[in-house]
Chain A
Amino acid sequence: MTIEIDNLRIRFGEREVVKGVSFDIEGGDSFGIVGESGSGKSTVLRAMAGLNEDWQGRISFSGEDAPQKRPPSFFRKVQMVFQDPYGSLHPRQTIDRILSELPLVHKMDRIDDRIAKVLSDVALPQNARFRYPHQLSGGQRQRVAIARALIAEPEVLLLDEPTSALDVSVQAEILNLLADLRVERKLTYVMVSHNLSVIAHLCSQVGVMVDGQMVEQLTAEDLRLGKAVHPHTQELRRLSVELEEPV
């Protein structure tokens, strides 16, 4: 599903936090947004997901302009995964209950089969179904959050720092899972992260945000090769490379 964002502006009260951001993503591609805290990257993602209804500009999915208030059918196509798997799952609901919410709302059939299928898709054991979130590890919880997004059979996944609350060992598993799912299901990804290596690993296109503006867009390949032009991108790359290299 192609996505076009054109001159997106978002303000909270007097303060403009997104100041005219534009980018396009081709169907099946993955786009990463990097930036420091407060740069407005998550705000862009939340507006795309329909979680913020107060924005100006144009957000379009498959050439169709998204209205401020999204219809229910929109959430079958576009789903979001949040940063903290400890906070994004209801602590008093079983995994089964968490995963059946969306199919029930959308009056989908064969809910039982769908849950069984989606659990195996994210490599969770079937017996995880009747557990509570606190009985699962952080990585397993993030798999549940991904399963909850996938059960809608979406075409677009919006990922807000999906691995930054996880250990590197678990991060590797989740990143591999996300990479596989994208190929299998022909998904389009938009991922927000502050970690340049994670973005470059999963995304082919990268946008860099500073203070509400997207100051640079480049391919992950160019980013790796150090062909960034904007000083902030160069600085982020330098810090990331410096840590990777032995002393």
Chain B
Amino acid sequence: MLVDIQNLKIGFKSRTGFHQAVKGVSLKLGTEKLGIVGESGSGKSLTARALMKLLPKSTVIEADTLAFDGIDVLSASERQMRQIRGKRAGFILQDPKYSLNPVKTIGAQVAESWRTHKGGSRREALEAAVNLLEQVQIRNPQVVAKSYPHEVSGGMGQRVMIAMMLAPDPELLIADEPTSALDATVQAEILRLIEELVAERGMGLLLISHDLPLVSHFCDRVMVMYSGRVMEELKASELLSAKHPYTRGLLNCMPSLIHPKDRLPVLARDPEWLK
């Protein structure tokens, strides 16, 4: 098992008291594609960040088990975590505009990520960077390697992010809303790319998204989160016929192109869900 999380709780101390954001989440992930869906504030990103120990020091994290490939993340040192982050588990974030360094060329950034994990000379790293850019289907990798992030489009920027993540051959890829900032046509291409790479390299994938239809098409399994809890877990292919009223509510309130509705049903939140 690549990821094993049992009864994860994440809370924040604030000026006015204590706020529990994640309230007992459990999940297991092997070499498969798991999607986590839910509204903003449901704790889906926090869960992924806790696994990489990427939360501020003031965060209170408790769990019966929080393990990456058998390594206990809660007791792991920063040195141990650095062996996991990037190297064994890659993290793709939502907006390449904010994740890439604006004052370094794309080639230099991809090369840096390769060299950090694999060593080797500068020239080797640059060659590897161009090769990686080619792998994420960038047509003229030589030119892109010499460009700065502001000179390329959002879709291209996201490909570069993926190239950087692939450099150290990770076993797990965590993608937090990887396509929400992209256009529909580009979104389809990026997802196809991630899918191919995951299948080719036999990686595990944790895809975090607020887009239910997208996740149902792309993942093997889906976990639906609401207010820090797991509402249900089901096969992705069964998502569109989900039974839980929360999942149903989310699906119903989306406008549809083929089945027009005069009024959109509004999600009625039931306090029972939180019991």
Query: A: which residues have CB within 8 A of B?
Result: 36-38, 138, 167-169, 171-173, 175-176, 179, 194, 196-198, 200-201, 223-224, 235-237, 239-247
Tell me, in angstroms, the Cα distance from A200 to B260 when the chains sit together: 8
Minimal Cβ-Cβ distance residue in A for B260: A224
Q: Which of B183, B236, B241, B257 contacts A224 (CB 8 A)?
A: B257
Q: What would 15 A/B residue contacts be, using CB atoms closer than 8 Å?
A: A138-B40, A167-B39, A168-B210, A168-B254, A169-B250, A171-B254, A172-B254, A175-B255, A194-B184, A240-B257, A244-B213, A244-B256, A246-B241, A247-B216, A247-B237
Question: B183 touching A37 by the CB < 8 A rule?
Answer: yes
Which 7 interchain pairs have the tightest Cβ spacing? A201-B255, A172-B253, A172-B264, A36-B183, A169-B267, A243-B213, A167-B39
Residues of A within 8 A of B254 (CB): 168, 171-172, 197
Which residues of A have CB within 8 Å of B263? 176, 179
Binary interface profile of B, 174-217, with partner A (CB < 8 Å = 1, else 0)?
00000000011111100000000000000000000010111011
Known interface pairs A36-B183, A169-B250, A169-B266; 19 further A-B residue pairs with C-beta atoms within 8 A, sorted by A's residue number: A167-B40, A168-B250, A169-B267, A171-B254, A172-B265, A173-B266, A196-B184, A200-B255, A200-B260, A201-B255, A201-B261, A224-B257, A224-B258, A236-B184, A239-B185, A240-B184, A244-B257, A246-B240, A247-B216
Taking CB atoms, residues of chain B closer than 8 Å to A198 are 255
Q: Say whether B30 faces chain A, with CB atoms less than 8 Å apart.
A: no
B249 at interface, CB cutoff 8 A = yes
A122: shortest Cβ distance to chain B, in Å?
A: 15
List residues of chain B with CB under 8 Å of any chain A CB: 39-40, 153-154, 183-188, 210, 212-214, 216-217, 236-237, 240-241, 249-250, 253-258, 260-261, 263-267
The CA of A241 and the CA of B256, in the complex, are separated in Å by: 8
Chain A-chain B contacts (Cβ-Cβ < 8 Å), number: 88
Across the interface, do A237 and B257 meet the contact criterion of CB distance under 8 Å? yes
- Return chain A residues, CB-CB under 8 Å to B265: 172
Contact call B258/A244, Cβ cutoff below 8 A: yes
Within 8 Å CB of A173, what residues of B? 266
Chain B residues closer than 8 Å to A138, beta-carbon distance: 40
Least distance between A169 CB and chain B CB atoms (Å): 4
B188 cross-chain contacts in A, Cβ below 8 A? 239
Query: Could you say which of A176, A179, A237 has the most chain B C-beta atoms within 10 Å of its C-beta?
Result: A176
Q: Which residues in B have their C-beta under 8 angstroms from that of A243?
A: 213-214, 217
Query: Please, how many angstroms separate the alpha-carbon atoms of A237 and B257 in the complex?
Result: 8
Chain A residues, Cβ within 8 Å of B153: 38
Q: Please report the C-alpha to C-alpha distance between residue A37 and residue B184 in the assembled complex, in whole angstroms.
A: 10
* A240→B250 CA distance, assembly (Å): 17
**In the complex the two chains form, what is the Cα distance from A243 to B187 in whole Å?**
12
- B residues in contact with A168, CB < 8 Å: 39, 210, 212, 250, 253-254
**A235: nearest chain-B partner, CB-CB:** B185
| Alpha-carbon distance A31/B186, docked complex (angstroms) | 25
- How far does the alpha carbon of A7 sit from the alpha carbon of B250 in the complex, in Å? 41
A196 to B261, CA, bound (A): 14
Residues of A within 8 Å of B210, CB to CB, are 167-168
Instruction: Give the distance to chain A from B130, nearest Cβ to Cβ, in Å.
Output: 27
Chain B positions within 8 Å of A223 at CB level:
257
Contacts of B261 in A (CB 8 A): 201
Question: Which residues from A are CB-within-8-Å of B253?
Answer: 168-169, 171-172
**Given the complex of chains A and B, what is the CA–CA distance between A175 and B265 in angstroms?**
11
